[in-house]
Structure 1
């Protein structure tokens, strides 16, 4: 159980979704992203495990979740892009942006959730 609590630290508390020309809206990641589930109660969500790997310029975390309201599993894919603004830039000049995607239990993409 202690390990599951630590996995919550890997998940951003919120992300921002673009509203076209109207700016951005902040949404919480403490919810179930599966179709036909309206759970937004963190106490009904469980973190199961995490898988991490690196690709060129990307650090990817896939966090496996269980919703106790709909009794189904889903995944949050957290993709942090680290990129140098210029080829010879030092690490402090790199830019970093995070993207979050919701996926079903089989890894099928349910859509882009937001940026952090």
Structure 2
């Protein structure tokens, strides 16, 4: 019961844009292991696949597509370089990766 209260409280604070939880350097990047933990905790509630010229990147959102902190999107990055977004060849590859992290189909959005 306490775990559920903590999860809800963290998600509510995030939705209000009060806490920042980026990558190891405090930026707007998130490595996959932290994305999994934050999704399970209810902090990350959606992942959006963003198609760009060179492939597909993943942006993370709170409830109802709200940015996680001060209007800034958080993106999935490489664990070896926190400043670079992880790029997938197509939507199917990105979706498969998110499902491996535990994301449900309804929480994966395509832009």
Do these two structures clear the TM 0.5 threshold for a shared fold by scoring above it?
Answer: no
Structure (1 or 2) with the greater helix fraction: 2
Structure 1 or 2, whichever has the larger Rg, is 1
State the TM-score, normalizing by the size of structure 1: 0.24
Structure (1 or 2) with the greater strand fraction: 1
Higher relative contact order (CA 8 A, sep 6+): 2
